[in-house]
Amino acid sequence: MAALALACCLALAQAPAYAEAASAKESVTRGQELLDTGDYAAARAAFEKALDDDPSSVGAHLGLARAYYGLGEYSRAVLEFENVLRFGDLPPDMLDQAATYDALAAQYEAGRKLRAFYYAETGVGYYRENSSAATDIFGGAGDDVTFWPLRVGGGLNTDVTERHSLNATLDYRFRWYDSDRRNDSDWRWNVNLSRPVDDDSLRFGMRGRVSYRGDGQHRNDWGVFATYGLGLGPNDRLTFGGEVRERRYPRGPLRERTRDIAEFTGSWTHSLPNGRTSLTFGANLGQEWATQDRPDGDASFWGVNGEVDHAFSDEVDAFFWWSYLNEGYDEERPDFTTDQDLLVERNDDLWNFGGGVVWRFARGWSLRPTFEYNWEESNIPALAYSSTELWLTLRKSF
């Protein structure tokens, strides 16, 4: 009798959980039906009810994000999509980010076990090395050239468990310069496991890149990382992350730059009430350990950054971003002066600004004028640097 009573108590205790899970599935099914009819406001209400019953439901999070997308609330859609899946190397504008995530969510709802997206981008650009303390020392401004950019890549997403999602991307970037300047070639990859945790999200994985540095030399980066996104309602998210990585120059005169890096990051993203404007503010802090007798020695760094993105319509989006980074090294540089009284530990300030406009003139097609300005100051004038880049690309998303 005691055992029977205990079993009855356990069954009664579990009954509300089962009931809530069943109710959540019913709401998700109802929401998906409403999405198919284009009634996005009613679909949003259905998915919100599903999340009340089961806050970690993958289908409810994706469905709610798709409802926001259908309503044109792109900044909210991206925040909600990234509760479940998140990819590296997506374009900087939220229109394309939201469209990419929406296509994957549609594949999820259709029952596809392996979801994918692809893209290709090309155009024409202009690069100029601006006057700086370094160019004054070495005899005037540097390159002033045109270039041809090419970018191709894609991503995959699949379920590992009912809650966990595996995400992977591969991105290739190439620039051919109309001069004797070295051409740039860069492979980037990212593999991560993610899952929603109620209104929060957890992600961890590995990422890296292989970059051509000229004269047959390459730079290899790889590391492990983890991020935790703290959901603060439909309009706000705090994200905290950490990464340990290696930057390795396998051979040649650049080998001494090989180093290990640890970095911590934090950011706050806010969607304005219109759901079409996104603001992000972030900060980072890290340490580098020189492993091949780098002349500058070890270094510590910290920085801040920000971004604003606004969708003027369902076809036109504009974005602007900026970052500041300070790097302080712990070894004096004797190779820049013969006067022992002038030996200094290198300290650099790096400013970067960029922005652009995206015009989606047809399904999957976008035209993207973009600019970037880089400015690096150093207490060693020969290491100062500044450049301006402008480019116009045509992108096709599949």
pLDDT digits (tens, 9 = 90+) for 14-31: 444 555 667 788 888 999
What's the confidence (pLDDT) of residue 213? 81
Backbone angles phi, psi at 196, to 5 degrees: -80, 145
For the stretch 299-316, what's the b/e string if a residue is b when 16 or more beta carbons lie within 10 angstroms of its beta carbon? Answer: bebebebbbbbbbeeeeb
**SS3 of 176, please?**
strand
pLDDT at 336 over 80: no
Tokens of 127: 């690069």
- Mean pLDDT score across all residues of the chain: 89
Contacts of 38 (CB under 8 A, 6+ apart): 70
What's the confidence (pLDDT) of residue 371? 97
- The most distant pair of C-alpha atoms in the chain lies apart, rounded to whole Å, by 96
Q: How confident is the model at residue 7 (pLDDT cuts 50, 70, 90)?
A: very low
Mean of the pLDDT values across residues 152-168?
A: 93
Cα–Cα distance between 191 and 204 in angstroms, integer? 9
How would you class 248 by CB atoms within 10 Å of its CB: exposed for 0-12, middle for 13-18, buried for 19 or more? middle
Mean of the pLDDT values across residues 374-385?
A: 89
Q: Would 176 be classed as within a structural domain?
A: yes
Q: How confident is the model at residue 103 (pLDDT cuts 50, 70, 90)?
A: very high
Mean of the pLDDT values across residues 37-58?
A: 92
What's the confidence (pLDDT) of residue 15? 44
Q: Tell me the Ramachandran region of residue 276: left when phi exceeds 0, alpha when psi lies from -120 to 50, beta otherwise.
A: alpha
Which domain does 318 fall in, by range? 114-397
Backbone angles phi, psi at 132, to 5 degrees: -155, 180
Q: What percent of the chain has pLDDT over 70?
A: 90
Whether the CB-CB separation of 194 and 202 falls below 8 Å is answered with: yes
DSSP at 82 = T
Q: Would 38 be classed as within a structural domain?
A: no
Q: Would 103 be classed as within a structural domain?
A: no
What's the confidence (pLDDT) of residue 13? 42
Mean of the pLDDT values across residues 233-250?
A: 96
Whether the CB-CB separation of 93 and 358 falls below 8 Å is answered with: yes
Tokens of 21: 């899970």
> Could you tell me how far CA 70 lies from the centroid of its own chain?
23
Q: 176 - beta bridge partners? A: 148
Cα–Cα distance between 339 and 93 in angstroms, integer? 50
Tokens of 215: 């004269």
Strand (E) or helix (H) holding 13: helix 2-37
Q: Would 32 be classed as within a structural domain?
A: no
Q: Would 134 be classed as within a structural domain?
A: yes
Q: Which position has the token pair 């029977």? A: 4
Cα–Cα distance between 398 and 396 in angstroms, integer? 7
Q: Would 144 be classed as within a structural domain?
A: yes
Q: Which position has the token pair 């409810």? A: 60
Q: How confident is the model at residue 356 (pLDDT cuts 50, 70, 90)?
A: very high
What's the confidence (pLDDT) of residue 19? 59
Q: How confident is the model at residue 215 (pLDDT cuts 50, 70, 90)?
A: confident
Question: How many distinct structural domains can be found in the chain?
Answer: 1
Neighbour count for residue 233 (Cβ, 10 Å): 10
CATH number at residue 232: 2.40.160.10
pLDDT at 184 over 50: yes
What's the confidence (pLDDT) of residue 4? 44
What's the confidence (pLDDT) of residue 79? 94
Q: Which position has the token pair 């993610």? A: 194
Q: Would 356 be classed as within a structural domain?
A: yes
Mean of the pLDDT values across residues 139-160?
A: 88
Q: Would 50 be classed as within a structural domain?
A: no
DSSP at 182 = P
